[in-house]
Amino acid sequence: MAIMLCWPLLLFAQDEISAPVSRTYAITNATIVQAPGRKIESATLVIKNGLIQSVGKNISIPADAIIIKADSLFVYAGFIDGLSRTGVSKPKDDVNKERPKDPGNPTPERAGITPQYEVRSFLDPQDKSLEEMRGIGFTAAHVIPYGGMLPGNGSVILSGGSSADAMILSNNFSFYSELTPAQRAYPTTGMGVMAKYRELYRQATLNKNYQNLYASNRAGLERPSSDRILESFYPVIDKKQIVFFRAEKVFDMQRVLTLQKELGFTLILVDVKEGWDMVSKVKASNAKLFLSLDLPEEKKEEKKSEAKKDETVKKEEKPKSAAELEKETLEKRRIEFVGKYVGQASVYQKAGLKFGFSSLSAKSKDIPANLRRMIAAGLPEDAALASLTTIPAEIFGLSDRLGTIDNGKIANLVISEKPYFNEKAKVRYVFVDGIMYKQEIAEEKKGDKDAKIEIEGSWSVTTEIPQGKSETKFVILKDGTTYSAKVSGGQLPQTIDASSVVLEGNVLKVAYTVTINGQTMDVKMEVTIDGKTFKGKTDVTNFGSFPVEGKKDPKI
């Protein structure tokens, strides 16, 4: 609720009541890593209208700027995910439940062949994955639809926005492909997928050539038929669209490179997991690649307590059985495999190959630790940062907008308490398209759906905003089983009634709308109550998230 107090601060710059909402920020006294190898200490960064306006020392701060004192904080360009389904709605998995009537000739949808689809149709700005990836620093991503061998076109999106259209940075950017066979229908094998891919590509080439011929002289020629699936290949054939082909293992990579050599399309290998033996072939193909951020789980060896060891008694070692020896051999091979897997990025970097990273099959919570594991295995920190920023921006043709902290670029930033690759680093702020999202540092208590909470009464609420702490009063009333809430005090011109108040166990959710100078903003608060206090966050349209705390006032 306390976020209401920041509206006057944000809206009334220089005492001008009619001034618009400020989209100007000044991040001061920070260590700014503009790009790998380019760092400025005790610097200032100014954001205006979603763009980086200036960066460096002795920077003039605009009078209407919201100042973020970033002493001891580190600022990086927002990270770019090379392949994911962040923000993409997953369809109901019912298409493959029943065997088709003619499994040798299924419908295109049943076979997983829908290249005419575009991912924008499946984007959900409220999808939880956007918040999760944003929370670890990813501000842009190349996202693709769910599906089979040809799910549809991918787009580069920003990880924040009020609508799918607002999130799009580069629409229909990629022609996404997999070697995934259909279930209980043709193509049912990897070889079948390759054969079908060749068939579609060559048929599309013939159709395109005929359409060009017909366009040049229609007299005496039959009108060409329209086929959305085949027409989806045309930009690929003209080399105006890149084929992003998922290839996790060596065999997959070999098959994809074979297709690329036969058909001649522009290729980027994505979500590569076990490609350390393919360095020379990838280099020869001129294909670019994105390595998977998913790593095998790190097995912690059990350490015997020294206190339990009896140094005075040494038992005679028994000869190991064949089963024990085989187990040791398998474990040795596993450790060797994991070592190669984790060290793959270092191998490609030492070979002089540029690569980005893909989160498609990784869990967001594991990504920071996995990056540190790659660095420990030999990948230089600057190379890891380049693979998260400058290299994907270059591969996507977006270096003029993303990838570094330079004047005129989109204000996509990640700000951490320590250098990002430090094990104790925590992200404090993330900017997406100039909109600030403040991250919760303290671990929130989980809700208890069975908790019995009394929330009626007056609460003193504190919201942490860029200017500091904002205070207000929040009164909750109860009528039978229904709750209502009123917000007042501080600089608010009048009391505001909440539109929704819901208590689920010890989790309180409140929503309301405020209109100032003709601009309407939706506010949603979710907090976890612990006795007479609560903690949580408040989301505000076009402003991001803010930490909020409350304390129940004593009865008078």
pLDDT in tens, 178-194: 999 998 899 999 999 99
User: Residue 505: which pLDDT band, with cuts at 50, 70 and 90?
Assistant: confident
Angle at Cα 518 formed by Cα 514 and Cα 522, nearest 5°?
30
Q: Which two tokens stand for residue 243?
A: 């084929």
Same domain, 501 and 523: yes
Alpha carbon separation from 178 to 148, 182, 248, 274, 452 (Å, rounded):
7, 11, 10, 16, 51
Alpha carbon separation from 105 to 102, 181, 205, 228, 302 (Å, rounded):
5, 14, 22, 18, 54
Least confident segment among 67-76, 379-388, 470-479:
470-479
The pLDDT score that the predictor gives to residue 341 is: 95
The pLDDT score that the predictor gives to residue 11 is: 41
Task: Say whether 426 sits in a helix, a strand or coil.
Answer: coil
Angle at Cα 371 formed by Cα 368 and Cα 372, nearest 5°?
90
Taking residues 317-330, what's their average pLDDT?
81
Is 319 inside any structural domain? no
Encode pLDDT of 261-288 as tens digits: 999 999 999 999 999 999 999 999 999 9
Same domain, 410 and 530: no
Same domain, 468 and 499: yes
% residues pLDDT > 70 (the chain): 86
Is 343 inside any structural domain? no
Encode pLDDT of 1-31 as tens digits: 444 444 444 443 333 322 335 689 999 999 9
Is 454 inside any structural domain? yes
DSSP conformational letter for 41: E
Taking residues 294-313, what's their average pLDDT?
57
Burial annotation 293-317 (CB, 10 A radius, 16+ → b, else e): bbbeeeeeeeeeeeeeeeeeeeeee
Q: Range of 482's domain?
A: 445-552
Is 323 inside any structural domain? no
Same domain, 456 and 416: no
**CATH code, domain carrying 418:** 2.30.40.10
The pLDDT score that the predictor gives to residue 488 is: 81
**CATH code, domain carrying 519:** 2.40.128.120
Same domain, 137 and 254: yes
Same domain, 204 and 219: yes
Same domain, 413 and 502: no
- pLDDT mean across residues, the chain: 87
Name the one residue in this structure whose structure tokens are 């904002």: 470
Return the number of other C-beta atoms located less than 10 Å from residue 164's C-beta.
Answer: 18
Same domain, 239 and 387: yes
Closest-CA residue to 152 (of 109, 103, 200, 96): 109
Is 140 inside any structural domain? yes
The pLDDT score that the predictor gives to residue 252 is: 96
Taking residues 193-200, what's their average pLDDT?
97
**Rounded to an integer, what is the distance from CA 530 to the centroid of its chain?**
32
DSSP H or E stretch at residue 300: none
Alpha carbon separation from 309 to 202, 306, 315 (Å, rounded):
70, 5, 11
Q: Would you say 116 and 232 are in contact if contact means Cβ atoms under 8 Å apart?
A: yes
Is 458 inside any structural domain? yes
Taking residues 159-174, what's their average pLDDT?
94
Q: Is the pLDDT of residue 234 over 70?
A: yes
Same domain, 58 and 167: no
Same domain, 124 and 265: yes
Q: Would you say 460 and 423 are in contact if contact means Cβ atoms under 8 Å apart?
A: no
Domain total of the chain: 3
Cα separation, 96 vs 138, in Å, equals: 33
Same domain, 66 and 136: no
Same domain, 122 and 187: yes
Q: Which two tokens stand for residue 409?
A: 């670029």
Is 228 inside any structural domain? yes
At 467, phi and psi to the nearest 5? -80, -15
User: Residue 555: which pLDDT band, with cuts at 50, 70 and 90?
Assistant: confident
What DSSP assignment string belongs to 492-550?
-SS-EE-SEEEEETTEEEEEEEEEETTEEEEEEEEEEEETTEEEEEEEETTTEEEEEEE
Is 311 inside any structural domain? no
Encode pLDDT of 45-93 as tens digits: 999 999 999 999 999 999 999 999 999 899 999 999 999 999 999 887 6
Q: Are strands 519-530 and 533-540 parallel, antiparallel or unpaired?
A: antiparallel
The pLDDT score that the predictor gives to residue 278 is: 95
Q: Would you say 436 and 530 are in contact if contact means Cβ atoms under 8 Å apart?
A: no
Does the predicted TM-score (pTM) go above 0.85? no
At 144, phi and psi to the nearest 5? -135, 155
Taking residues 105-126, what's their average pLDDT?
94
Q: Is the pLDDT of residue 258 over 80?
A: yes
Cα separation, 466 vs 117, in Å, equals: 41
